[in-house]
Amino acid sequence: MSTFVAQQTDGLILSTFPGNAFAVQSTVTARTEHLNALLLALKPPLSPDTLRDTVEGLQRLESETDGAEDAAIRIAVLGRLTVGVYAQALSAYLEQASEAEAEAEWWSDIERSRLDAARYLLQTLPVRLASLARTVVHTIRSESHSLSTRQVTPSSVLHTLRSLAHSASPLRPNLLTTSLFPHLHTDPHLLTSLSLPLPTSVSTASLRTTLTTWLHTILHTLTLPISLTHQECTLKRQQLDKIRNEKAERLGALSGMRPQLEKALKDGDEAELTSFVTAMQSLVVPTASPSAQALAASLSTLTAYTPAPVPAALRRPPRLTLLWPRLVLGPPLALFAVRRLYASRASLTELAGQAADTLRGFWQGWVLEPVRDIVRTVRAGGEGGVIVRKEGVEADLQSLERMVVALARDKLGYGAQQLDALAGKVRVGDLTPVMEIYEEDIKSPIRSAVAGTLVRSLFVQVQKAKVDIDQALSGIDKLLKSQELTFAFVGVAPALAVVYGAAGALLRVWTGGRGRGRFGGAQRRAGVLGDVRRVERLLIFQPKGASARPDGEGQEIPPLTTGLLLLSLTRLRRYAETHLPRGSRLREGFLEDVRDLEDPLLGRREKLRVVERMWRCWGGLLGWGEVSA
């Protein structure tokens, strides 16, 4: 029994009890004990066997008279039986309508693509050939009256096939075609829709037109089996849609009867229960004519009735039929692939080794080593790997200071205060006194080089250039150190992006085929999106055959629409119970919205607002926008 049926009926069963059943009675008869036993046995969930046994036990007590206490217990038993039969009918029609819808969706998936139709034709080819063989054998037997009087030879079989391929009317399919495509038995007119138009006269048709017609005829002949298979899938899907609508309409009508049942149980009136059971019997058992049967007899009729299941001819083929091409072609192809792989084992081993070396080199050189460099950089704190040490820069600057001070003292005769001031200027890069000495020496370079201070001035400028270079390199070093982490992350980012993309692709391959992932995976969330869209569409537009107002503004939802809504809501409930986190607010809120949509007391406008709330609350969280895109 589904959760929807349990929620609709369990509360009604538990709320049905006799008001004075637990009062102190002067005498307790065997009938009272039997009724109490029947009442206590009716606890949810109620199985069909329990309902039948209880109805039979209650019918055996109908001939005996009862007192006030027994009457109250009897009404409670009848009420619980009514709820149980009501739950059984709801469950049966819900299961059968869901089955018909699932089968119709399977045929619809094949119907969407001619390639799928061709694959289905291949899968069912043995079944079709077996049907053709039975037709041939039956024809031979009917012509020869017995197989013993006429030997079955290839010529006789060929003659039978020719006779089967002959059609008395060009508008009707022959026995050969109907044996391969059984749907033409009941709908022979479908073949005429695929027939080619009559060819034009040879005298009036040009050569190009004749060639085009000839090619079109060949193409039509080759694709005719696929077209007939596509027609077969379409016809089965339409028949299943019709069955689903019939079951859904009765399901919707039964769901709408719950307030009447609740009122009858609350009042404890046997007449109201009888009226409800009579209405349900006329709905569930269409062949039953209304009669003044006793309530127990009507309940007995309902417990014994089982709705007609989906015909086996409209269901999808057995799994073995669908898998036989893989079972037949798979082993030879696998053996061929294994042989080719074994023959190329040397090159494949070399290729695998190269691939492993490439992956190992990529992982070591482009992922692990850059990450280790980042860790070392963070640990060193910017002190390691400098271009110029600040001690070296300071030593060069002090050497320059001493050279300038010595030159000024020897050449210019500076005192202590002047030398201290000159040393301060040297630290900020001002060598004006030295440059003045150089300017004087350059006027007589040979004499100054031999007996003057030209050489000392040149060495001072060389030292000054060295200090400037050290200071420039120190600035560059500081700039690089300030961006060292940035450069390290930029270097490792492409490799991490490749690893992330490859890991995500492998994860999708691993989880996508099993329908797992967050909230059931993208495929299941797409199915939920389709169900929510269908619920909204059913609330806006009436399906064909639903009794609704012409303007579509009626608040009352017809039974067919209600039944189709319940089918979609059943799938939504199953998704929430299976794939949403147990005990989470997401799951509880989602199921609460589903229960609101299942409530028969809410009108169309209120349910549309519930759907809007679902889009607003769960659309972003479940990724419906991403799935639909």
pLDDT of residue 554: 56
Q: Which 3-state string (H, E, C) describes 571-605?
A: HHHHHHHHHCCCCCHHHHHHHHHHHHHHCCCCCHH
Single-letter code of the amino acid located at 451: A
Closest-CA residue to 233 (of 189, 183, 267, 190):
183
Cα of 617 vs its chain's centroid, Å:
19
User: Where residue 149 falls among pLDDT bands split at 50, 70, 90?
Assistant: very low
Calculate what percentage of the chain has a pLDDT beyond 70.
83
Q: Which residue has the higher pLDDT, 135 or 256?
A: 256
Percent above pLDDT 90 for the chain: 25
- Calculate helix-pair angle for 154-165, 125-144, nearest 10 degrees: 100
Mean pLDDT of the chain: 81
**Separation between Cα atoms, residue 255 and residue 259, nearest integer Å:** 9
Instruction: Give rounded-to-5 percent helix, strand, coil for the chain.
Output: 75, 0, 25
pLDDT tens digits for 428-479?
888 888 888 878 778 877 777 777 777 888 888 888 888 888 888 887 777 7
What is the end-to-end Cα distance of the chain in Å, rounded?
36
Q: What is the pLDDT of residues 267-301, one digit of tens each?
A: 888 888 888 888 888 888 876 555 555 787 888 88
- Reported confidence tier of residue 513, pLDDT bands at 50, 70, 90: very low
pLDDT at 512: 55
Map tokens 């037709």 to a residue: 135
pLDDT band at 96 (very low <50, low <70, confident <90, very high): very high
**Token pair 């041939």 is at which residue?**
136
Distance separating alpha carbons of residues 156 and 162, to the nearest angstrom: 10
> Which tens digits make up the pLDDT trace of 22-34?
444 556 677 788 8
pLDDT for residue 252: 92
- Asked if 445 and 451 count as a contact pair (C-beta separation under 8 A), the reply is no
Indicate the pLDDT class of residue 550, thresholds 50, 70 and 90.
very low
Q: With a cut of 70, say whether residue 143 has pLDDT above it.
A: no
CA distance 281 to 85: 10
Mean pLDDT of all residues in 172-184: 78
User: 206 is written with which tokens?
Assistant: 């040009």
Instruction: Inform me whether the pLDDT recorded for 515 exceeds 50.
Output: no
* Angstrom distances, CA of residue 234 to CA of 113, 127, 193: 12, 19, 14
Which three-class secondary structure state does DSSP give residue 168? coil
Predicted pLDDT at 135 = 82
Residue 310 CB neighbour total at 10 angstroms: 20
Q: pTM of the predicted model, to two decimals?
A: 0.72
pLDDT at residue 626 in the model: 64
In the prediction, which pLDDT does 281 show? 87
Q: In the predicted model, what is the mean pLDDT of residues 384-398?
A: 74
| Residue linked to tokens 């060949």 | 218
DSSP structure string for 93-116: HHHHHHHHHHHHHHHHHHHT-HHH
Select the highest-mean-pLDDT range: 6-10, 38-42, 326-330: 326-330
Helices (H) then strands (E): counts for the chain:
28, 0
DSSP 379-421: HHTT-SS-SS-HHHHHHHHHHHHHHHHHHIIIII---HHHHHH
Residue 541: which pLDDT band, with cuts at 50, 70 and 90?
confident
Among 148-152, 351-355, 373-377, name the most confident range. 351-355
In the predicted structure, residue 263 carries a pLDDT above the cut 80: yes
Q: Transcribe 247-272 into DSSP letters.
A: HHHHHHHHHHTHHHHHHHHHHT-HHH
pLDDT, mean of residues 29-50: 81
| pLDDT value of position 429 | 81
d(CA 598, CA 320): 38
Q: Where are the domains of the chain?
A: 3-111+243-304, 132-144+155-198+205-240, 319-380, 390-510, 516-543+557-626
Q: What is the pLDDT of residue 168?
A: 47
**Distance separating alpha carbons of residues 472 and 464, to the nearest angstrom:** 12
Question: What pLDDT band is residue 387 in, cutting at 50, 70 and 90?
Answer: low
Residue 201 has pLDDT above 80, yes or no: no
The answer to which of 24-38, 226-240, 248-262 has the lowest mean pLDDT is 24-38
List the structure tokens of 601: 């007391």
Q: Decide if pLDDT at 2 tops 50.
A: yes
pLDDT score, position 467:
84
